[in-house]
Structures are given as C-alpha cells and as structure tokens.
C-alpha cells in the first residue's frame, strides 16, 4: 500500500476476491456447498456485505496513510466494539474476569506497539477507526448467521458478494486490478489473502463450537503479540525489546483470565 500506484479500493477488491477463491477451492475439496441463504438470512447477508465492504475500503486506505504500529493500535479498538455487539446483539454475558482479561489484552497490544510519537487524529487514523467499527459489527453479524450456517459455504458467499459490491459501487476499479497481478505484488497479496482466509475459517469454526464471541474477540488481538515475539526471535528485531516483552506478558495474563 505504500506504493504510489497502489489504490486502497482496488486492493480491497482483489484481496476479497482471492479470499473467496481460496475458500471456494477448500469448499470443493470438502464436497461442495452445504448451506444456502434463505429469505430469513438474506437481510443479514446484505447488511454484512455493506459493513464488510466499508471495512475493507477503510482499512486499506488507512494502510496507505498510517504507520504500521499506529494502525495496529487503532485497529485493536474493533475488539471493544465486538464485545459490545456480543453483549447486546448475541446476548452473551460479560463476567468480571472476562472484562479484566479483555482489558489486559488490549493494554498489552498498545504497550507492545507503542512508539514515542503521539497518535494524532489524522485522516488516516479516522479511516482505521472506521474500519475497526465496521469490521467489528460485521463480525457480530457473521457470528449470528453462523449459528445455523456451514462455515466454508458462508466464506464463499460473503467474499464474492463483497467483491461484487465493491465493483458495482465503483466499476472503474477494474482498470486498477492488473497492478496487483505483477509477480512480486501477486505473490504478496495471494499469501496475505490465504492467511486471512484461514484466520477467518478458524475463527468462525471456533465460534460454532463455543458460541463465545466475548472470548474469541479479545483473543484475536493476541495475533499482534505473537507477531512481535516471533519478530524478536526469528528476525532479530531487538528495538524496544523489553517494552514488547512486557506488553506480551500483560496480554498473556489477560488471555488466561479470559479463558
């Protein structure tokens, strides 16, 4: 996204389409579609497409304007919206230990990613905050639908519907898509989309097993901690190492309380 020729809207379109393609391949290997939208679920699917499309556009616009560490901190606010959605829309119960655990995870992420500069409310940061809001409530709708819907079929429907919506809203985006098919860029975005597809599949399957969005939401924020610690061990990124380790410890304590 730092390339001057890149476009947030186009990248969101390509990324979503690739997630759908990956999900479709997995679905076919598993025997094909097992669930289909009904008249009862159709309004929820349409609402989900609106929230997901908006979230995809805003997150990639944010990537272009905001530094990675600040982007991570701001996007973590989606976990707070998800907690509210789980309580008020999914009728889950918040216990004191879950509240403290979720708070510690979020604090741990902020400590880990915090740099000396201050976060300012710029256009880029507003984009990321909006993405966090739309993604969180989109995820709540996902969980609601997945109470009675097969995960892989759901992934295919949603991914391709979002891609189609993005193209219909702005047909000119098609002209910018070839930018992402050049070898190096193609490899990067394919790897990222497969990774995101797997992450969503595991998250949705976890919800179907436990029906516990209040736990899944904050736990998902620990991916930042894992990434940071792996960067220290594998990539030898030793800058602010003790700060990162301290943040990771706080997040681990929060995870224990949440589980």
Q: 109-123, 139-153, 186-200, 217-231: which has the highest mean pLDDT? A: 139-153
**Dist CA 150 CA 190 (whole Å):** 24
**Residue 172 counted as domain residue:** yes
- pLDDT higher than 70, residue 29: yes
Neighbours of 230 (CB within 10 A): 11
In degrees and rounded to multiples of 5, residue 170 shows phi and psi of -140, 80
- Provide mean pLDDT across the span 183-201: 83
The confidence score (pLDDT) of residue 43 equals: 92
Classify residue 227: in a domain, yes or no. Answer: no
Distance of alpha carbon 145 from alpha carbon 154, whole angstroms? 9
pLDDT at residue 7 tops 60 = yes
152 in a domain, yes or no?
A: yes
230's tokens: 């792996």
Residues 64-100: tens digit of each pLDDT? 777 665 666 677 777 778 878 888 888 877 777 777 8
Predicted local distance difference test score (pLDDT) of residue 48: 92
The total number of structural domains that make up the chain: 1
- Residue, of 230 and 168, whose pLDDT is higher: 168
- Per-residue confidence (pLDDT) for residue 244, from 0 to 100: 67
For the segment 30-55, the average pLDDT, to the nearest whole number, is 89
Identify the CA nearest to 217 among candidates 248, 162, 258.
Answer: 258
Per DSSP, the residues of 157-211 read: HHHHHHHHHHHHH-GGGGGGGGGGGSHHHHHHHHHHHHHHHHHHHHHHHHHHHH-
Residue 234 lies in a domain: no
Average pLDDT, the chain: 79
**Is there a domain that residue 216 lies in?**
no
The two three-digit tokens of residue 91, written as one number: 């009728």
Domain range for 195: 8-95+118-211
Residue 117 has pLDDT above 60, yes or no: no
User: Helices 42-65 and 151-169: crossing angle, nearest 10°?
Assistant: 60
The Cα–Cα gap between 208 and 147 comes to: 6
Q: Is residue 136 part of a domain?
A: yes
Whether residue 230 lies inside any domain: the answer is no
Note whether 145 and 48 are within 8 A (CB): yes
* CA dist 44 → 49, 89, 143, 146 (Å): 9, 13, 11, 11
Q: How far is the C-alpha of 45 from the C-alpha of 219, rounded, in Å?
A: 25
* This prediction's pTM: 0.78
Mean pLDDT of 181-207: 83
pLDDT band for position 44 (50/70/90)?
Answer: very high
Q: Which region among 63-72, 80-89, 128-137, 194-203 has the lowest average model confidence (pLDDT)? A: 63-72
Structure confidence by residue, pLDDT tens digits, 176-189: 888 777 777 788 88
CB neighbours of 134 closer than 8 A, spacing ≥ 6? Answer: 51, 52, 54, 55, 58
Mean pLDDT for the stretch of residues 222-244: 68
pLDDT at 141: 92
Contact residues for 166 (Cβ-Cβ < 8 A; gap 6+): 9, 12, 13, 16, 53, 56, 57, 173
């Amino acid at each position: 996204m730092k390339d001057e020729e890149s476009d947030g809207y186009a990248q969101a379109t390509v990324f979503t389409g690739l997630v759908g393609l990956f999900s479709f391949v997995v679905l076919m290997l598993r025997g094909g579609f097992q669930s289909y939208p009904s008249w009862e679920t159709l309004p929820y699917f349409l609402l989900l497409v609106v929230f997901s499309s908006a979230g995809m556009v805003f997150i990639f616009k944010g990537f272009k304007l905001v530094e990675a560490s600040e982007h991570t901190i701001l996007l973590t606010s989606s976990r707070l919206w998800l907690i509210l959605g789980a309580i008020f829309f999914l009728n889950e119960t918040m216990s004191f230990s879950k509240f403290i655990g979720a708070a510690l995870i979020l604090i741990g992420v902020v400590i880990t990613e915090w740099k000396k500069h201050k976060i300012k409310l710029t256009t880029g940061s507003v984009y990321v905050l909006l993405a966090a809001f739309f993604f969180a409530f989109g995820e709540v709708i996902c969980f609601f639908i997945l109470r009675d819907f097969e995960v892989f079929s759901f992934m295919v429907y949603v991914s391709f519907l979002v891609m189609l919506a993005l193209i219909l809203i702005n047909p000119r985006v098609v002209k910018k898509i070839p930018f992402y098919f050049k070898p190096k860029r193609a490899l990067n975005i394919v790897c990222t989309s497969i990774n995101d597809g797997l992450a969503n599949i595991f998250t949705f399957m976890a919800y179907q097993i436990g029906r516990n969005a209040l736990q899944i939401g904050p736990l998902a924020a620990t991916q930042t901690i894992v990434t940071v610690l792996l960067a220290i061990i594998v990539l030898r990124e030793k800058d602010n190492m003790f700060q990162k380790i301290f943040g990771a410890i706080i997040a681990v304590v929060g995870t224990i309380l949440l589980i």
